[in-house]
Amino acid sequence: MKPTEYIYLTPMPVRIWHWLNALGIVTLCITGLQIRFPEYVNIFGTYKAAIRLHNTAGIVVSISYFLWLFYYMFVTRSLAKLYVPNLEDIKRGFLRQALFYCFYYFKGSPNPHHETPDNKFNPLQKAGYLVIMLVLLPLVIFTGILIMNVAPLRELILVAGGIKMLVSAHYLIACSFLAFLFVHVYLATMGHTPFAHFKPMWTGWEESEGHH
Ligand code: HEM
């Protein structure tokens, strides 16, 4: 039997960002539920307490987002390489990966994508993470900052379509985050063992597939 190979996939700053961000987003979803449906949900005592925790978690998620962006853009400079699907991904990769997730995985076939530190995401991960990290997260942060500062940012809010429009957009984006979260956690269990993808998110090291 060949010895198990390990690859260093996830550097420490990304791991710290990821779990802080996950905690922040989960906190935002739960407090957001109480803020949106106060007549049905009361987890944090008062309405005011839910808003205070929601705002704090929002600030933590926003700051850690900009650190994440800075790290990938200026320290490792690998944002485009890791997160943007290439032509081959679009032509064949999306379909191949979707077939694996929906069909071949259940027949026991190996994942068609082989992770390396330079190409750690499969085509669908690239597309999904790109939309989440470069479209939805910035949008939810932007709308959140506006809603938190209604008085000083009045003019900007009017340009953005008014407070009702803003609150609806913030809520709809938040719903897509919740949907992403369930899919993300489910797909993350589809490694060669259920925790194979969780380990590198904690230790940085992934056991190379195919040596089991
Ligand atoms: C309970 C919550 C969460 C769990 C259990 C979880 C789990 C994981 C796992 C196991 C991975 C590594 C496997 C993979 O690359 O797919 C991962 C990566 C990732 N997750 Fe999550 N996640 C959570 C929340 C989130 C949230 C809320 C976001 C974004 C808003 C997010 C964004 C990402 C990104 C961008 C990566 C790739 C990171 C990189 O290596 O650059 N995750 N997550």
Task: Answer whether residue 27 is part of any domain.
Answer: yes
| Structural domain range at position 146 | 6-84+98-207
Residue nearest to atom 7 of ligand 1 (CA): 185
The rounded distance, in Å, linking the Cα atoms of 133 and 111 is 24
Q: How far apart are CA 117 and CA 144, in angstroms?
A: 34
Per-residue pLDDT tens digits of the chain, which is 212 residues long: 567 789 999 999 999 999 999 999 999 999 999 999 999 999 999 999 999 999 999 999 999 999 999 999 999 999 999 999 999 999 999 999 999 999 999 999 999 999 999 999 999 999 999 999 999 999 999 999 999 999 999 999 999 999 999 999 999 999 999 999 999 999 999 998 999 999 999 999 998 765 43
So what's the pLDDT on residue 2? 62
**Residue 212 located in a structural domain:** no
If one residue of 65, 183, 201, 206 were mutated to test the ligand 1 pocket, choosing by the most ligand atoms within 8 A of its CB, it would be 201
- pLDDT for the residue 212: 39
Output the CA 163–ligand 1 centroid distance in Å: 31
Ligand 1 binding pocket mutation candidate from 18, 132, 136 (most atoms within 8 A of CB): 18
Domain assignment present for 173: yes
In a domain, 91, yes or no: no
Say if 46 falls within a structural domain. yes
Q: DSSP string of the chain?
A: -PPPPEEE-S-HHHHHHHHHHHHHHHHHHHHHHHHH-TTT--SSSSHHHHHHHHHHHHHHHHHHHHHHHHIIIIIS--HHHHHS--HHIIIIIHHHHHHHHHTGGGGTPPPS---BTTB-S-HHHHHHHHHIIIIIHHHHHHHHHHHHTTTTTHHHHHHTT-HHHHHHHHHHHHHHHHHHHHHHHHHHT-SSSTTTTHHHHHHSEEEPTT--
Whether 89 is in a domain gets the answer: no
Residues near ligand 1 with C-beta < 6 Å? 10, 14, 18, 21-22, 25-26, 125, 129, 132-133, 137, 181, 184-185, 188, 197-198, 201
CATH number at residue 113: 1.20.950.20
Distance between Cα 18 and ligand 1 center (Å): 6
Which residues contact residue 53 at a Cβ distance below 8 angstroms, ignoring those fewer than 6 apart? Answer: 27, 31, 44
In testing the pocket of ligand 1, which one of 29, 125, 136, 184 has its CB within 8 Å of the most ligand atoms?
A: 184
Q: Do residues 192 and 184 make contact, with C-beta atoms less than 8 angstroms apart? A: no
Return the ligand 1 atom nearest residue 82 CA: 41
Work out how many domains the chain is built from and give that number: 1
Residue 109 counted as domain residue: yes
Whose alpha carbon is nearest atom 30 of ligand 1?
A: 132
Please report whether residue 108 resides in a domain: yes
